[in-house]
Amino acid sequence: MVTVLMLLLAADPQVLARGRAEEKRSCLPCHGLRIIHVQRLSRATWERELDKMVRWGAVIKDREALLEYLVDGFGDDRPMPVLPRSADGRAR
């Protein structure tokens, strides 16, 4: 059963889609997604990371959507991902 509180706390799918697009646009020019997707950071820490990336030259046009996307998908309350491994057991 979905409660009203759960609906209020759920991130807006359109905002998440904009955040995902912003991630591709502003993050991928410098590094791969794995460095982002394996982290589990609080909202405040993601905000500091975005501030740092801007200081280092990243151009983030839709910061709020990107922040929501990062917190929703890679927040400190999310489980750690299972990383794919090669046949010899090393991470890919």
The pLDDT tens digits of the residues spanning 11-27 come to 899 999 999 999 999 99
pLDDT band at 1 (very low <50, low <70, confident <90, very high): very low
Record the tokens describing residue 53, joined without a space: 């990336």
Say how far apart CA 24 and CA 6 lie, in whole Å: 28
Domain annotation for the chain: domains and CATH numbers: 11-74 (1.10.760)
Beta bridge partners of 14: none
Contact predicate 68/11, CB 8 Å: yes
Query: pTM of the predicted model, to two decimals?
Result: 0.80
User: What's the pLDDT at 83?
Assistant: 72
**Using an 8 Å Cβ cutoff, are 39 and 78 in contact?**
no
Higher pLDDT pick, 89 / 55: 55
Query: For the chain, what percent of residues have pLDDT higher than 70?
Result: 85
CA 19 to the chain's CA centroid: 8
Q: Please determine, for residue 8, whether its predicted confidence score (pLDDT) is greater than 60.
A: no
Whole-angstrom distance between the N-terminal and C-terminal Cα of the chain? Answer: 39
